[in-house]
Chain A
Amino acid sequence: MSEKSRAPDLGSAREIEEGLGDPFTAAFRATRMAMVITDPRRDDNPIIFVNDAFLNLTGYAQDEVVGRNCRFLQGPDTDPAAIDAVRAAVAAGEDVEVELLNHRKDGSPFWNALVISPVRNEEGDLLYFFASQADISAKKQAEQDLNRSRDILEDLVAQRTRDLQEALDQTSALLHEVDHRVKNNLQVVSSLVLLKARQSPDEATRRVLLNMAERISALSTVHRLLYPAGDVSRFDLKEFIGDLTADLMTALPKDRITLDLDVAPVTISAAKATPLALLVNEIVGNALKHAYPDGSRGRVAVRVAKLDGDVCIVIEDGGIGLEAQGASGRGFGKTLIEMLVRQLRARIDWEDAQPGTRAVVTVPLNAEEAQL
């Protein structure tokens, strides 16, 4: 080996061991960072220098480590992949940084953040490896604790999600079952009233019962429209009026009454659906049945629009007018209309349409409905 390729002068072996002479060596020796120098040019790359911090960290005495390869720090639990990374870097003369499980002299493990760098002379010849060690057991422990906490939390979240899904499934099944029973019971009620109507010999009784069946049918339509939308809190007035009026028309001879519908899409809260449905059923039903007596032909218009935070429903016919219809005699229908208007905090104005009757129902919308 030429004089030039030799290592920079670290002092004599004694001076190196005692850290005398050179300020760098003194600093190296005194730092709290555990440090090691090995000599790859000697057989099995032995340690040629360790500082006190290294001895404090590992529990060994200097004469127990100098001259040995660093692998005595490893134990059976040390990750082979980390050892391979170190071995490969040393063989290639490269830098490496790994975190690996090492053991002290007393066998107790610690997590070591190991940084190894090759030291070369000006010609690039590999002279030493310089290695620093830091005990990162506390950090590793914190990481492991964190992972464990995360696993526990994830398990908890998964369990809770399962519970919620189960509860949701049960609720959906329950809602479905209730929906089914309500529909079936409405059908039974309706059939009961219609059967009685068919068997009543008295025309007046029959008419009363058929009116009741129509009211039940209007409620059924409300129920039918409330559930399938998946949102049981809102009610589509447009769809309701289309279906209700078509159902009412079936009871009339074909082509006798022409129906004009001009209904804007209006959504109201479900709480208003029932009273509003019954109210519309009552007024439209009256117009269809009584505005054009004795089989005369005519026209009934239903218009719905949103107006300044109100929904405005206009039902207009060109028939004989309320007085001639003897509307005062239809006590229950009239009372029902008044009660429903009151429940909805609405207003109803009966106007003379010359000829005929115009009912203008103004229902105030709440802030949420006005947005819909």
Chain B
Amino acid sequence: MDSSLQILIVEDEILIALELESLLQDSGHSVVGIAASSEEALALGAECRPDLAFVDIHLADGPTGVEVARSLAREHGIMVLFMTANAKRIPDDFTDAHGVISKPYTERGVQQALDYVIACRDGAGPPSIDTLTFMPFQNRGLRAPSQAQG
């Protein structure tokens, strides 16, 4: 299966978003958009139908990232990775995301998170995770992995 993903970045800190975009492009993925607020994120999610969204908890309109993640996952079947310096804001029983990358992220953390979501999408066994910066939600009774959109 295609290991190149269409990715939406939901992040209000433009420097972080641009750098992440470069990192994802270097890893062979496409960034379909960058959203700074929940409104932009939901609009871009509906319009671009990405495979995956990186979602920060704190957006331009407040701590709305958790709700954004829920909507993207439930309404459009988009896989979600949180990316935040504030992982404690994510409810313990949240199952609409695949995991959380903690800021400041490392290239290795992002890479392992990408490997993990691709394995989930393809129904493969989860790869081993040995970084401090990515925590998969595999023990949370994750909803069935959504099929790729294209």
Contacts and interface: CB of A to CB of B under 8 A. Distances in A.
Contact of A250 (B20, B107, B132): B107
A187 B16 contact: yes
Interface stretch (B38-46, B47-55, B97-105): B97-105
Interface stretch (A92-100, A178-186, A305-313, A346-354): A178-186
B33 to A, nearest CB: 18
B90 interface: no
A250 B22 contact: no
Interface centre among A179, A187, A246, A249 (most CB of B within 10 A): A187
A102 interface: no
Interface string B73-104: 00000000000011010000000000000111
A217 B23 CA distance: 15
A187 B13 contact: yes
Contacts of A251: 107
A176 interface: yes
B92 to A, nearest CB: 15
A195 B103 contact: no
Contacts of B2: none
A38 interface: no
A192 B20 CA distance: 11
Interface in A221-272: 221, 224-225, 239, 243, 246-247, 249-251
A249 B20 CA distance: 19
A183 B85 CA distance: 6
A216 B103 CA distance: 12
Contact of A184 (B103, B108, B111): B103
A175 B94 CA distance: 25
A251 B107 CA distance: 8
Interface string A169-205: 0000000100111011011101110110010000000
B131 A224 contact: no
A117 interface: no
A194 B22 contact: yes
Contacts of A190: 19, 104
Contact of A224 (B16, B108, B133): B133
A220 B85 contact: no
Contacts of A198: 19, 22
Contacts of B23: 194
Contacts of B18: 191, 195
Nearest to A188: B15
Rank and list the top 6 A-B pairs by shortest CB-CB distance, nearest first.
A183-B85, A191-B19, A187-B104, A220-B104, A250-B108, A187-B103
Interface of B: 13, 15-16, 18-20, 22-23, 85-86, 88, 102-108, 111, 130-133
6 contacts: A184-B13, A186-B104, A190-B19, A195-B15, A217-B104, A247-B106
